[in-house]
Amino acid sequence: MDLERLLILSGILFCIGLYGTMSRRNAITVLMSLELMFNAVNVAMVAFAKYIVPLGVQDHLGRLLTGQMFVVFIITVAAAEIALGLAIVIALYRNRETVDITEASLMRR
Amino acid sequence: MFQEIAFWALSAAGVGGALGVVLVRDVFRAALLLVLVFMTVAGLFVLMSAEFLAVVQLLIYVGAVAILIVFAIMLTREVQQGNLPNRLHLPAGILTALLLAAFVYVVLDTDWNQQVGLADIQPGQEQLVQERLEARGLGWVSEAVQSNTVGGLPVDWEDGVERQILERIGEVPSILEGRSSDQPTREVTALETEAQLLQAELILLEQGRLVARLHPAFAEEFQAATGPTPPSEDLMNALNAPDSPVQDVVEIHPKAQGNITWWVGPDGELQGQDRWWLVGPDGDLKYSVVPGQASGTLSVNGQSVTVENFPVLNIFEGRYEQAEERTGIGDLLINDYMLAFEVAAVLLLATIIGALVITRER
């Protein structure tokens, strides 16, 4: 389990998520792609936490868990984001009868 | 080997599932593939010994987020229209491909400051290893690295050093030939110690706790070379006394008859305090091995013993704390990250209120 290949896997997942976020019309797919990106970042965080020891804090207990703490909070924020995002999607659908985000142009100009 | 297979299987499933999430036309199937990706990420967490996060991943992502997404898909009834691309999908694809290429280049090009034990030394890293060993006061290993020898035997850098040192364990008695086994030289003792540490590391990883002992092969050969001499009863009584610095003897390896025995505290505590003891052939305390600081005066059995500056390869630091991970995250959350915890709780509350306000019927 090398650090490098975990980071590359994380990068692949992140790029797939980024592509989905930028290229899809369905708002729910965009949100799912965002979740993919969050997961990619989480994988990278845990990989760093496992393989990299930050200099200067080596004697601090639990130093190897800092990255995992980040992941805990990222998961929290991701859950909040998906709840709010889906609420917006449903509100959009109620007002416009569509979840196509290219139709959601109310705030343009 | 199992880890390799698991990693590649999880990677393939994860990347395939992620591609499916983005490319499959049916949004509902995309959501199910997203669940697959979440599960593979949980599996990767397990592989990286982050079991707690794997459980959290399953509970929150698979249990809550995926259900929420499926509900939203059902409520919006756009399954038949599907998952169409917008006008920008071609530039977006090119852009993300370039970004991925940049990621891969940066990851491969960076010299990650990984925590290398001797296990991970690759050919071409000799200079790096030498610097780290010297920083730890392990000049003798550094010299061995420079002269491409360990214990007087040549090192094949193509082959990984840990395994070679473990193989050298069998060679130590031959190094001892012509020398009194009561007075092993610093070089030989250090070599033994390193071999023990390497072996002990493996045992630590197996059991999730610290039980250091000698490599069985070395013990047998050494016993054959020196003959059995059990540890004195006085020492055992002193070690088991209520005021003994060693609270409990976890394990006494048969190697106690020979040269050195490891003693480990009740919970396998290693960090910070004097918990490692090297006991000589007569049952007297030879060295206390404290990670990063291996000298001082100790009192055992009514005797004050001056401890020499003993070279110890400090490969345990990281691994030990990994063994403590299950309780570690809770401790960190309550102690170090309390403010962040509170902020996250407030954020979740705000999210609940916000979602209610957004979806309210007018």
pLDDT in tens, chain B (362 residues): 788 899 999 999 999 999 999 999 888 899 999 999 999 999 999 988 788 899 999 999 999 999 999 999 888 876 566 777 778 889 999 999 999 999 999 998 887 755 443 334 445 555 555 555 444 434 444 444 445 444 444 444 444 444 444 444 333 333 333 333 333 333 334 444 444 444 433 332 222 222 223 333 334 443 444 334 344 455 445 445 555 444 333 333 333 322 333 333 333 333 222 233 433 333 333 333 333 333 344 333 334 434 333 333 333 333 333 434 445 677 778 877 889 899 999 999 999 999 999 888 76
DSSP characters for B143-194? HHHHTTEETTEE--GGG-HHHHHHHHGGGHHHHHTTS-TTS--HHHHHHHHH
The whole-angstrom separation of Cα A20 and Cα A33 is 5
On whether the CB atoms of residues B88 and A23 are closer than 8 A, the answer is: yes
Tokens of B44: 């990767």
**Amino acid A6: pLDDT:** 92
Most A CBs within 10 Å: which of B358, B360, B361, B362, as the mutation test of the A interface?
B358
With beta carbons under 8 A apart, name residues in chain A contacting B27.
26, 28-29
Starting at the edge strand that comes first in sequence, how are the strands of the sheet with B261-263 ordered?
B261-263, B277-279, B285-288
**Amino acid A2: pLDDT:** 78
Predicted confidence (pLDDT) per residue in A46-99, tens digit: 988 877 754 433 433 344 577 888 899 999 999 999 999 999 998 888 888 888
Residue B67, min C-alpha distance to chain A (Å): 11
Residue A60, min C-alpha distance to chain B (Å): 10
- Here the ipTM equals 0.91
Q: For the whole model, what pTM was predicted?
A: 0.58
Tokens of B7: 């990693």
Tokens of B158: 């193509």
Residue the block writes with tokens 């200067």 = A56
Look at A108 and B69; give whichever has higher pLDDT: B69
On whether the CB atoms of residues A16 and A43 are closer than 8 A, the answer is: no
Q: How far is CA B95 from the centre of its chain?
A: 37
With beta carbons under 8 A apart, name residues in chain A contacting B37.
13, 36, 39
* Residue B114 three-state SS: strand
CB contact under 8 A, A23 and B93: yes
Tokens of B262: 């490891």
The whole-angstrom separation of Cα A89 and Cα A23 is 17
**Amino acid B343: pLDDT:** 93
Tokens of A98: 């569509």
The whole-angstrom separation of Cα B320 and Cα B211 is 11
Tokens of B41: 């990420």
Residue A104 CA neighbour count, 13 Å, CB half: 16
Most B CBs within 10 Å: which of A52, A59, A69, A70, as the mutation test of the B interface?
A69
Residue A109, min C-alpha distance to chain B (Å): 20
Taking CA atoms, B331 is separated from A107, B59, B309, B344, in Å, by 46, 21, 34, 17
Tokens of A46: 């845990």
CB contact under 8 A, A24 and B86: yes
